[in-house]
């Protein structure tokens, strides 16, 4: 297949590496020549340039720009692609993108690879990031069936686990497991920074280990991505944050009242239910250091 990738950053670069390895021919388009040169040098694309018109002969195009640029990019692509071409995107929110993009291009299929890294940019791209990770497609009832089938096949070639959801269900689900953690984790870092005693604050920074590393990782990532999650998934993220605040209040109340049975019940349920979300091999003792 001849595949275009617009936006040669972390996700665009990771996709290029894997799609080329799967035998596809990949042309990349980005805003800056230096990005195109890096993508070529690291083997993420067969060729790259700044001009969207170079994508006119592509069978399929992945839009991997920041969320805010996805819909305008689909509008621009609609002027250069052949009518049989498929457009898919990788944006972390779907409801605000999929409906307008489908209006612009009937063979548009919304998608979201549930994989990534804290770093941004082409330099952070690496192969096999999507391997064994979920990849959700969010077609509408009117989405072209052949386009869904072709994007599904590519997702399977990446070694990802394929899921389908409505854009609204996707947005609420990722608000819970992706966008809420970013806000919680960033608030955790801010909370630690608010310690007024400099000796304690410095000591905490010196003692921080694997537990803090795990819980602060997503909050210390790309700020632009977090901002876009809040702006483009506002109602779903607010719903999750408000429920989380309620949960924190229950936790505070249990500790204030020394209601240890309630606290232990909450912690026990969290311990039992975590594998419903993520299954990890057991860690060594003192793993929550
Ligand atoms: P990124 O590393 O910052 O890459 C985005 C790239 O897009 C930039 O390197 C930039 O390249 C290019 N770009 C920006 N505006 C453009 C435009 N108008 N036209 C063409 N290229 C443009 O960001 P990312 O993390 O890969 O995120 C990209 C998309 O993936 C987002 O929609 C995000 O929601 C989604 N996503 C991210 C993750 C994650 O963990 N990061 C996971 C799943 C999905 P130049 O250097 O050439 O300007």
The ligand 1 atom at the shortest distance from the C-alpha of residue 113 is: 43
Ligand 1 close to Cβ of residue 116 (< 6 A): yes
CA distance 49 to 56: 13
Ligand 1 close to Cβ of residue 67 (< 6 A): yes
| Distance between Cα 7 and ligand 1 center (Å) | 5
What pLDDT score does 256 carry?
98
Ligand 1 close to Cβ of residue 11 (< 6 A): yes
pLDDT digits (tens, 9 = 90+) for 121-160: 999 999 999 999 999 999 999 999 999 999 999 999 999 9
Ligand 1 close to Cβ of residue 31 (< 6 A): yes
Which residue has a Cα nearest atom 38 of ligand 1? 116
- Position 31 confidence tier, pLDDT thresholds 50, 70, 90: very high
What pLDDT score does 135 carry?
98
How does the average pLDDT of the chain come out, rounded? 95
What pLDDT score does 288 carry?
38
The ligand 1 atom at the shortest distance from the C-alpha of residue 67 is: 32
The preferred substitution site among 7, 61, 181 for testing ligand 1, maximizing ligand atoms within 8 Å of CB, is 7
The preferred substitution site among 65, 163, 237 for testing ligand 1, maximizing ligand atoms within 8 Å of CB, is 65
- Position 225 confidence tier, pLDDT thresholds 50, 70, 90: confident
C-beta contacts of 222-229 below 8 A and 24+ residues apart:
222/118, 222/119, 222/120, 224/66, 224/120, 225/66, 225/92, 225/120, 225/182, 226/182, 226/183, 226/186, 228/66, 228/67, 228/68, 228/92, 228/93, 229/92, 229/93, 229/178, 229/179, 229/182
| Distance between Cα 252 and ligand 1 center (Å) | 39
pLDDT digits (tens, 9 = 90+) for 113-126: 999 887 889 999 99
What pLDDT score does 188 carry?
97
Pairing outcome for strands 60-63 and 86-89: parallel
pLDDT digits (tens, 9 = 90+) for 239-250: 999 999 999 999
Which residue has a Cα nearest atom 22 of ligand 1? 7
- Position 198 confidence tier, pLDDT thresholds 50, 70, 90: very high
Per the CB < 8 A criterion, the answer to whether 104 and 45 are in contact is no
What pLDDT score does 20 carry?
98
What pLDDT score does 170 carry?
98
What pLDDT score does 284 carry?
46
- Decide if pLDDT at 281 tops 70: no
The ligand 1 atom at the shortest distance from the C-alpha of residue 12 is: 26
| Distance between Cα 9 and ligand 1 center (Å) | 5
What pLDDT score does 282 carry?
52
What pLDDT score does 286 carry?
40
Ligand 1 close to Cβ of residue 64 (< 6 A): yes
Ligand 1 close to Cβ of residue 32 (< 6 A): yes
Which residue has a Cα nearest atom 35 of ligand 1? 91
What pLDDT score does 242 carry?
98
- Decide if pLDDT at 14 tops 90: yes
pLDDT digits (tens, 9 = 90+) for 83-99: 999 999 999 999 999 99
Q: Would you call 1 helix, strand, or coil by DSSP?
A: coil
- Span of 111-120, 165-174, 180-189 with lowest mean pLDDT: 111-120
DSSP assignment, residue 161?
A: E
């Amino acid at each position: 297949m001849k595949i275009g990738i617009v936006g040669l950053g972390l996700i665009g670069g990771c996709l290029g590496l894997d799609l080329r390895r799967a035998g596809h021919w990949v042309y990349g388009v980005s805003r800056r020549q230096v990005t195109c040169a890096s993508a070529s040098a690291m083997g993420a694309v067969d060729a790259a340039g700044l001009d969207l018109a170079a994508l006119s002969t592509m069978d399929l195009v992945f839009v991997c720009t920041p969320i805010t640029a996805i819909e305008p990019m689909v509008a621009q692509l609609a002027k250069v692609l052949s009518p049989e071409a498929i457009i898919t995107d990788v944006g972390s929110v779907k409801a605000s993108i999929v409906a307008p993009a489908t209006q612009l291009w009937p063979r548009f299929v919304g998608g979201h690879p549930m994989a990534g890294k804290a770093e941004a940019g082409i330099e952070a791209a690496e192969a096999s990031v999507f391997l064994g990770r979920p990849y959700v497609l969010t077609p509408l009832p009117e989405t072209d069936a052949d386009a869904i089938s072709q994007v599904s096949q590519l997702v399977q070639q990446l070694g990802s686990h394929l899921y389908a959801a409505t854009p609204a269900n996707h947005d609420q689900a990722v608000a819970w497991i992706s966008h809420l953690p970013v806000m919680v984790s960033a608030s955790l870092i801010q909370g630690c920074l608010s310690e007024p005693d400099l000796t304690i604050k410095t000591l905490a920074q010196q003692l921080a280990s694997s537990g803090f590393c795990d819980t602060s990782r997503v909050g210390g990532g790309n700020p632009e991505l977090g901002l876009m999650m809040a702006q483009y998934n506002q109602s779903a993220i607010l719903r999750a944050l408000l429920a989380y605040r309620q949960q924190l209040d229950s936790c505070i109340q249990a500790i204030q009242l020394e209601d240890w049975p309630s606290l232990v019940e909450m912690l026990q349920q969290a311990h039992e239910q975590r594998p419903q979300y993520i299954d990890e091999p057991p860690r060594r003792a003192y793993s929550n250091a």
